[in-house]
């Protein structure tokens, strides 16, 4: 039996929020080939249109992350972007800078040995802080491709010092009350060394920067077998868990639909978050996936629903009974308490919650019946390129 009442569980579920990424609605992603999908968003407006549909179908996806320059308006009017999002019933979430795709970043951005290139990267990061103010974003989400491919390619201590200085300057330009979320990745695209290879490195730098800097955990950015829920628990206890990039993986950073390959891991992560209570209040929940062969909007809806289901099961855990078993050294008893919640079919409960929120009880079925996908395929066709805000 859950520690929380059904009323309390429903209240918590109605307050859940999952942010979707603008780039997930476009033809973007994968390290090998991006297959053009009929109806995929071509502009930022169309990405926001699609994000609005996902929120309407699920009721818990009220914000969309943007990526600069992929979502850069032709006239630099980011206020118009924010206003357009509001018309679609959503808001702008995290701002994601891009200091990895331009040719000048071949040897890195903030860690680049060339001072002029480091300055170019800094200018872009500062620009994104300004964009945060215009869009009323409260999170700067930072991922870097910086690293080296060969031993001796660069001085590792020098790269660390350059990176620290760049992060420090970026932190100084954050809007008041906003957070800087620092993401790590243990390998790729650099193959010898990665400048932010693990959560310990990210945590060390965030501690140096100050309270507005926190660690961002991407579920695909770990070696095989890493206990991600333990990392989550540690960062929560340190007050340094800033957010997630939700996805799933089988081998490497596959960016599959979250919960599609390892739903038990997703449940265990949410269990740690529920157990943390108010300590998890500021955690940002964001999708970061590459929908390459399965469509765009439907997999985004499914991603949100998988997070909702994992959270619902975590809310069902009887934490009082779990702690009693743990303190008594009852290994199997504690394990059974956890698995009892995981094995519960929460779909009827979630259908009731969505109905009470004014969202469809069965979002995937409703989306397929809505005709929206056929409508955008007819209107947009199949585009290989995606642009920014055009109005």
| Three-state DSSP class for residue 95 | strand
Cα separation, 272 vs 276, whole angstroms = 6
The pLDDT tens digits for 212-268 are 999 999 999 999 999 999 999 999 999 999 999 999 999 989 899 999 999 999 999
Residue 1 has pLDDT above 80, yes or no: no
Query: For the segment 306-346, what is each residue's pLDDT rounded down to a tens digit?
Result: 999 999 999 999 999 999 999 999 999 999 999 999 999 99
Q: What percent of the chain has pLDDT over 90?
A: 93
Q: What mean pLDDT is reported for the chain? A: 96
Vertex 380 angle, CA 101 and 100, to 5°: 5
Handedness of CA 82, 366, 313, 3 (dihedral sign): positive
Q: Which residue in 386, 390, 301 sits closest to 37, CA to CA?
A: 386
Sorted by where each begins, the domain ranges of the chain are 6-380
Q: Bridge partners of 91?
A: 63
**Residue 30's pLDDT band (boundaries 50, 70, 90)?**
low
Structure confidence at residue 390 (pLDDT): 44
Q: What is the mean pLDDT of residues 342-366?
A: 98
Architecture per CATH, domain 6-380, reads as Alpha-Beta Barrel (3.20)
H helices present in the chain, as ranges: 6-15, 44-58, 78-87, 115-135, 156-172, 199-209, 228-237, 263-276, 297-315, 319-327, 331-342, 347-357, 363-370, 372-380
Grade residue 76 by pLDDT with cuts at 50, 70 and 90: very high
Q: How many Å apart are CA 52 and CA 91, to the nearest integer? A: 9
pTM of the entire structure?
Answer: 0.96
Average pLDDT over residues 76-81: 97
pLDDT on residue 378: 96
């Amino acid at each position: 039996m859950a520690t929380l009442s059904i009323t309390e569980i429903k209240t918590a579920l109605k307050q859940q929020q999952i942010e979707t990424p603008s780039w997930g609605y476009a033809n973007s992603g994968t390290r090998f080939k991006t297959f053009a999908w009929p109806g995929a968003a071509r502009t930022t407006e169309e990405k926001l249109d699609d994000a609005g549909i996902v929120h309407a179908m699920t009721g818990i996806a009220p914000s969309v992350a943007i990526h600069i320059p992929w979502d850069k308006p032709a006239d630099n009017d980011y206020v118009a972007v924010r206003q357009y999002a509001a018309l679609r019933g959503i808001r702008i979430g995290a701002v994601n800078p891009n200091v990895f795709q331009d040719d000048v970043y071949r040897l890195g951005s903030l860690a680049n040995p060339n001072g002029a290139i480091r300055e170019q990267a800094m200018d872009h990061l500062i620009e994104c802080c300004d964009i945060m103010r215009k869009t009323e974003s409260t999170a700067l989400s930072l991922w870097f491709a910086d690293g080296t491919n060969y031993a001796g390619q660069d001085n590792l201590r020098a790269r660390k010092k350059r990176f620290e200085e760049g992060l420090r300057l970026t932190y100084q330009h954050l809007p008041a009350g906003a957070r800087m979320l620092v993401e790590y990745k243990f390998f790729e695209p650099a193959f010898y060394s990665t400048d932010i290879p693990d959560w310990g490195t990210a945590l060390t730098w965030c501690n140096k920067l100050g309270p507005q800097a926190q660690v961002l955990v991407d579920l695909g950015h770990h070696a095989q077998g890493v206990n991600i829920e333990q990392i989550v628990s540690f960062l929560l206890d340190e007050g340094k868990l800033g957010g997630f990039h939700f996805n799933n993986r089988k081998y490497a950073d596959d960016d599959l639909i979250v919960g599609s390959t390892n739903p038990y891991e997703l449940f265990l992560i949410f269990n740690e978050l529920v157990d943390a209570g108010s300590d998890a209040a500021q955690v940002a929940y964001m999708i970061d996936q590459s929908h390459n062969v399965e469509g765009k909007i439907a997999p985004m809806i499914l991603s949100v629903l998988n997070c909702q289901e994992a959270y619902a099961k975590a809310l069902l855990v009887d934490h009082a009974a779990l702690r009693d078993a743990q303190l008594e050294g009852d290994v199997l008893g504690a394990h059974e308490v956890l698995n009892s919640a995981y094995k519960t079919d929460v779909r009827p409960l979630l259908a009731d919650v969505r109905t009470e929120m004014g969202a469809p009880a069965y979002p995937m079925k409703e989306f397929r019946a809505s005709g929206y996908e056929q409508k955008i395929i007819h209107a947009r066709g199949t585009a290989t390129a995606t642009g920014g805000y055009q109005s």
